[in-house]
């Protein structure tokens, strides 16, 4: 009999998280800045179109050695003013080039990083006020942000709540002191508890914890304690990510060795045991890596079939346009991706010269658009109808998953079974024609489990 451990061992292979399709390593048809602006204009031309906005704040005071995000580490808060000025100038450049950006309904706003609460109260207020007064904000907006509990003040959260923010995501990762020491993130339980309580008292209606399994020196016992402490605070959502060990990309991960990391079987057990604890505590599994209480809007969206996935992860709203501002930020017009320069000084130089900070992107062709829609459907609902022209090929590719009863077929309808949900990323690879034609030349994806 095939056990859960056997299945996880079999399917624990490198696989994308599918916040986009094609995934970034397969971007090839780069748009010029003018081509990108034309895509934005076309996408926002209908009067009923809507907009999501992502602002990237890259700054952190200290480096977390596990982190794979685009960050700028400095304790010098003098970097705030010029960076905010660049954000506002970039936004103004967009509004001048595409006036519809200020006219269409803004449904979503997310502050990511880095650590958005690196900014002072004054600068948070100035940035949001300057930008939002030029936008058509929805009567029911979904505004969210990521915070580092070690660097977040109640006064900052009150200002954000006044601007309409109701969802907050706390970077937690692990509660074990030794694990925290190795990842250079000392964050006592009481610190996380305080920000959780403060957020709820202020009026944030959804609190998320980011947790990671597979970190150095994590054991089954320490992971259980982390989950138990998490359940004590009962966040509305939990993002439970596999640690992606990519020291060839992120040099800080060389601060510990692979010998410090849980082995393959050990890491898989961390995941499986934690997942069972979440489910037993009343959380629903949502797509890839996410769990939510039934009362949270993410569970409601999953139940209603309105869940969406983009570069901000799983969201409850679908908009025509995702506009990303700031260093390394990615924008998405559905038929085209656009990414800004990834180095702060280069990004700011472009903006100071009154240019857009275009680094790269991808213009989706007809096949890309078809596969993107299929992967999005599967990753948000757990099922998808596969077109006849690729049906036989996809069935053959996923035959092993069917044999292991992780998926089932009803005609051309592909569905995950209940035990197949942890293997959603694997199922999506069956629809990823670019990945299947050519494996990446270097190690770019984390493992599926």
From the annotation, which residues make up the binding site for S-adenosyl-L-methionine?
54, 66-68, 113, 146, 173, 185, 210, 244, 330
Specify whether the CB–CB gap between 446 and 242 falls below 8 A.
Answer: yes
Euclidean distance between the first and the last CA atom of the chain, given in angstroms as a whole number: 21
Contacts made by residues 196-202, CB under 8 angstroms, sequence distance 24+: 196/170, 196/233, 196/235, 198/154, 198/157, 199/157, 199/168, 202/154, 202/157, 202/158, 202/161
Single out the residue of 243, 183, 181 nearest to residue 210, CA to CA. 243
Q: Name the residue among 133, 114, 126 with its Cα closest to residue 55.
A: 114
- Backbone φ and ψ for 67, nearest 5 degrees, come out as -70, 135
The conformation of residue 253, written as its DSSP 8-state character, comes to G
List the binding residues: 54, 60, 64, 66-68, 113, 146, 173, 185, 210, 244, 330
User: Could you tell me which residues are annotated as the binding site for [4Fe-4S] cluster?
Assistant: 60, 64, 67
Cα–Cα distance between 425 and 411 in angstroms, integer?
Answer: 22
Q: 289, 314, 324, 308: which is closest to 449 by C-alpha?
A: 289
How many of the other CB atoms lie within 10 Å of CB of 437?
Answer: 8
Kindly give, in sequence order, each residue whose CB lies less than 8 Å from that of residue 117, ignoring residues fewer than 6 positions away: 124, 145, 147, 148, 151, 152, 153, 156, 157
Task: Residue 361: name the closest of 334, 381, 385 by CA.
Answer: 334
Which pair of tokens denotes residue 103?
Answer: 């006219």
């Amino acid at each position: 009999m095939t056990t859960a451990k056997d299945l996880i061992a079999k399917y624990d292979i490198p696989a994308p998280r599918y916040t986009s399709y094609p995934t970034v390593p397969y971007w090839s048809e780069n748009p010029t800045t003018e081509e990108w602006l034309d895509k934005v204009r076309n996408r926002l031309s209908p009067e009923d179109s809507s907009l999501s906005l992502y602002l990237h704040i890259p700054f952190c005071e200290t480096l977390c050695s596990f982190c794979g995000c685009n960050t700028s580490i400095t304790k010098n808060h003098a970097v705030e003013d010029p960076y905010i000025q660049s954000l506002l100038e970039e936004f103004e450049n967009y509004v001048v080039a595409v006036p519809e950006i200020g006219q269409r309904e803004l449904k979503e706003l997310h502050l990511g990083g880095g650590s958005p609460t690196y900014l002072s109260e004054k600068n948070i207020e100035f940035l949001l006020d300057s930008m939002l007064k030029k936008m058509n904000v929805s009567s029911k907006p979904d505004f969210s942000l990521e915070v580092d509990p070690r660097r977040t003040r109640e006064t900052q959260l009150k200002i954000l709540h006044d601007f309409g923010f109701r969802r907050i995501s706390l970077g937690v990762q692990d509660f074990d002191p030794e694990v925290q020491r190795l990842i250079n993130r000392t964050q006592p339980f009481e610190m996380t508890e305080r920000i959780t309580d403060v957020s709820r008292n202020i009026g944030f209606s959804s609190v998320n914890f980011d947790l990671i399994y597979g970190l150095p020196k994590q054991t089954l016992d320490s992971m259980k304690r982390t989950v138990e402490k998490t359940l004590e605070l009962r966040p509305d959502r939990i993002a439970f990510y596999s640690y992606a060990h990519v020291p060839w990309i992120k040099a800080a991960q060389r601060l510990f060795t692979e010998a410090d990391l849980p082995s393959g079987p050990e890491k898989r057990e961390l995941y499986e045991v934690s997942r069972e604890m979440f489910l037993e505590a009343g959380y629903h599994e949502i797509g890839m890596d996410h769990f939510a209480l039934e009362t949270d809007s993410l569970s409601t969206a999953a139940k209603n079939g309105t869940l969406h996935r983009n570069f901000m992860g799983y969201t409850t709203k679908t908009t025509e346009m995702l506009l990303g501002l700031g260093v390394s930020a990615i924008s998405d017009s559905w038929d085209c991706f656009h990414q800004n320069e990834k180095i702060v000084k280069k990004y700011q130089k472009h903006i100071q010269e009154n240019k857009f900070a275009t680094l790269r992107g991808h213009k989706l062709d007809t096949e890309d658009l078809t596969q993107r829609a299929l992967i999005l459907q599967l990753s948000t609902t757990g099922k998808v109808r596969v077109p006849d022209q690729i049906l036989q090929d996809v069935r053959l590719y996923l035959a092993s998953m069917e044999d292991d009863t992780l998926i089932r077929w009803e005609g051309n309808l592909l569905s995950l079974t209940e035990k197949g949900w942890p293997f959603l990323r694997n199922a999506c690879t069956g629809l990823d024609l670019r990945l299947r034609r050519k494996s990446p030349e270097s190690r770019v994806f984390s493992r599926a489990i």
